[in-house]
């Protein structure tokens, strides 16, 4: 390519001609280079696409059949109600599978599905499957379409619901202070699991007669304490069938009573500021195996429920004498790691108490002043002199795998268990 003899000199007429010819030559070379670069980029993109296609072709997931993919998509829907929509956008194969997996479309959240066409899409694609629905007050109009198909629901109570029946509903979470008569067996003939997130509104709070005639035979009940006789009457109405009961303190019931729960296996009490001596309801639980009581407001008080002789699984934040827990096999110490040493001292002093004890699990938050290694060594010393050894472990979160413990397996906030 031409170059000027002296770059600092002014160009002559001949230099102008030669420079312009050199510029045209360079522009042509640049255009050719840009064209080659574009072609190279296209080739790179094609190679990348080809590699992805080959990787996808040999991917292990392609070996999964329709049935397995369908089960996976159903589980995805349990975690996120809108999962089927996203899955259907992945590939033609996945879309075909999810469209033929009606259970994947059976979870409906009416807080977000506000468009009638979107709701109808879910109802159509779920075919005849029973529905799991979260229903806010603004979604009550849709309930008319699905009340006979709902098996699990989270609803905000409204008077309009009193005119409906739910023949297949087994699990219900209800808020917004429902009326006692809302739970009539004629409205919920299949209801077995109930979570009341608010206290009930009972206009006949102190009436002589019960408001729970015809109450469904519940297996699981989660409820707040209430004033008057509402709390007591509700427990009595399902006392013969209850297997799992969770009680959270809100108000102390004014009526003191004894309630027999012959089939209760799991009892959970969240006592907040309630005092042991002022708790008025005595529960008779001959079949109780799991007892959980949480709170540290009054750490020096014993547990509210006293009959622990049949309990095999125990979680407390305040300890009774272990001699009262003759059948204990698993002990969880929650929120108060300083209870570890007294428990070990009691076990060391009396080697006959808790003869079936297998494990002590301690909730150990970050930074807790407990020498875990020293506790383990102390435990080994104690177990050598006992007929059955036990182990002690520390956990940032305690496991909820007690017998009868209400385990939620449905979409977040749903009452499925």
Q: Residue 277's pLDDT is what?
A: 64
Q: Residue 233: which residues within 8 A CB-CB, separation 6 or more?
A: 180, 210, 211, 212
Per-residue pLDDT, 337:
63
Q: What is the pLDDT of residue 8?
A: 76
Decide which of 145 and 73 is more confident: 73
pLDDT tens digits, residue range 238-291? Answer: 999 999 999 988 766 666 789 999 999 999 988 776 666 667 788 999 999 999
> pLDDT tier at 408 (50, 70, 90 boundaries)?
low
pLDDT tens-place string over residues 383-401 = 777 888 888 888 888 888 9
The DSSP bridge pattern shows strands 171-175 and 193-196 to be: parallel
Q: How far apart are CA 92 and CA 97, in angstroms?
A: 9
Which are the contacts of 405, defined by CB distance < 8 A and separation ≥ 6?
A: 244, 266, 268, 290, 292
Q: How confident is the model at residue 149 (pLDDT cuts 50, 70, 90)?
A: very high
* CA dist., res. 261 & res. 276, Å (int): 20
Is the pLDDT reported for residue 416 higher than 60? no
HEC per residue, the chain: CCCCCCCCCCCCHHHHHHHHHHHHHHHHHHHHHHHHHHHHHHHHHHHHHHHHHHHHHCCHHHHCCHHHHHHHHHHHHHHCCCHHHHHCCCCHHHHHHHHCCHHHHCEEECCCCCCHHHHHHHHHHCCCCCEEEEECHHHHHHHHHHCCCEEEEEEECCHHHHHCCCCCCCEEEEECCCCHHHHCCCCCCCCCEEEECCCCCCCCCCCCCCCCCCCCCCCEEEEECCCCCHHHHHHHHCCCCCCEEEEECCCCCCCCEEEECCCCCEEEEECCCCCHHHCCEEEECCCCCEEEEECCCCCCCCCCCCCCCCCCEEEECCCCCHHHCCCCCEEEECCCHHHHHHHHHHHHHCCCCCCCCCEEEEECCCCCCCCHHHHHHHHHHHHCCCCCCCEEEEECCCCCCCCCCCCCCCCCCCCCC
The mean-pLDDT minimum among 51-60, 63-72, 177-186, 361-370 falls in 361-370
Question: So what's the pLDDT on residue 329?
Answer: 95
The predicted pLDDT at position 271 comes to: 78
pLDDT interval class at 375 (50, 70, 90):
confident
* pLDDT greater than 90 at residue 373: no
How confident is the model at residue 17, as a pLDDT?
A: 82
* 183-205 mean pLDDT: 86
End-to-end CA distance of the chain: 82
Please say if the pLDDT value at position 1 is more than 50: yes
| Nearest by Cα to 188 from 172, 201, 200, 175 | 172
Average pLDDT of the segment spanning 356-368: 80
Please return the burial class of 203, using the count of CB atoms within 10 Å of its CB with bins 0-12, 13-18 and 19+. exposed
Nearest to 285 by CA among 302, 308, 314, 253: 308
Q: Measured between alpha carbons, how far is 247 from 266 in angstroms, rounded to an integer?
A: 11
**pLDDT score at 112:** 82
Q: What is the pLDDT of residues 65-121, one digit of tens each?
A: 899 999 999 989 888 888 999 999 998 989 999 999 999 999 988 888 777 788 889
Contact 280, 297 (CB under 8 A): no
What's the rounded Cα separation, in Å, for the pair 94 and 72? Answer: 11
Beta strand 281-284 pairing with 257-260: parallel
pLDDT the model gives residue 261: 96
The answer to whether 407 touches 290, Cβ cutoff 8 Å, is no
pLDDT of 417 over the 50 cut: no
Give pLDDT, residue 309. Answer: 93
- Between β-strands 257-260 and 244-248, what pairing exists: parallel, antiparallel or unpaired? unpaired
Q: How many CA atoms lie within 13 A of 207 on its CB side?
A: 11
Dihedral sign for Cα atoms in the order 385, 386, 387, 393: negative
Q: Cα(145)–Cα(153) distance, rounded to whole angstroms?
A: 14
Distance of CA 369 to the CA centre of its chain: 31
pLDDT of residue 209: 52
Average model confidence (pLDDT) across the chain: 85
pLDDT band per the 50, 70, 90 thresholds, residue 208: very low
pLDDT for 302 equals 77
Of the pLDDT bands very low, low, confident and very high (cuts 50, 70, 90), residue 366 is low
Which whole number is the average pLDDT over 168-186?
A: 91
Q: What is the pLDDT of residue 253?
A: 63
Q: Which two tokens stand for residue 32?
A: 């050719």
The closest of 180, 174, 181 to 196, measured between CA atoms, is 174
Residue 376: pLDDT over 80: no
């Amino acid at each position: 390519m031409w170059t000027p003899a002296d770059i600092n000199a002014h160009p002559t007429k001949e230099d102008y001609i030669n420079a312009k010819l050199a510029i045209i030559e360079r522009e042509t070379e640049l255009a050719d280079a840009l064209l080659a670069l574009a072609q190279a980029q296209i080739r790179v993109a094609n190679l990348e696409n080809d590699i992805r296609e080959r990787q996808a072709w040999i991917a292990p997931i392609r070996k999964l059949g329709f049935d397995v993919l369908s089960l996976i998509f159903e589980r995805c829907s349990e975690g996120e109600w809108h999962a089927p929509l996203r899955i259907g956008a992945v590939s033609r194969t996945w879309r075909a599978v999810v469209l033929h997996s009606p259970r994947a479309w059976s979870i409906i959240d009416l807080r977000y599905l506000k468009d009638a066409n979107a709701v109808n899409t879910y109802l159509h694609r779920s075919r005849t499957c029973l529905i799991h629905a979260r229903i806010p007050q603004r979604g009550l109009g849709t309930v008319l379409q699905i009340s006979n198909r709902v098996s699990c629901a989270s609803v905000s109570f409204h008077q309009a619901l009193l005119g409906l029946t739910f023949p297949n509903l087994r699990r219900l979470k209800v808020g917004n202070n429902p009326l006692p008569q809302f739970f009539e067996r004629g409205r919920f003939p299949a209801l077995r699991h109930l979570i009341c997130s608010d206290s009930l509104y009972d206009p006949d709070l102190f009436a002589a007669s019960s408001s729970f005639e015809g109450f469904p035979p519940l297996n699981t009940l989660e409820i707040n304490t209430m004033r008057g006789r509402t709390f007591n009457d509700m427990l009595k109405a399902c006392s013969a069938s209850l297997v799992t009961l969770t009680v959270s303190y809100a108000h102390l019931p004014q009526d003191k009573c004894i309630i027999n729960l012959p089939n209760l296996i799991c009892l959970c009490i969240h006592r907040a500021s309630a005092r042991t001596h002022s708790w008025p309801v005595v529960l008779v639980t001959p079949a109780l195996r799991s007892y959980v009581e949480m709170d540290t407001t009054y750490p020096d008080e014993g547990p509210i429920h006293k009959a622990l002789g049949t309990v095999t699984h125990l979680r407390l934040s305040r300890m009774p004498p272990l001699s009262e827990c003759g059948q204990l096999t698993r002990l969880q110490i929650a929120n108060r790691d300083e209870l570890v040493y007294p428990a070990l001292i009691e076990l060391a002093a009396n080697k006959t108490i808790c003869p079936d004890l297998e494990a002590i699990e301690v909730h150990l938050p970050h930074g807790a002043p407990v020498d875990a290694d020293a506790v383990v060594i102390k435990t080994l010393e104690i177990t050598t002199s006992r007929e059955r050894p036990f182990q002690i472990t520390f956990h940032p979160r305690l496991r909820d795998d007690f017998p009868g413990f209400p385990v939620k397996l449905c979409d977040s906030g749903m009452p499925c268990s």
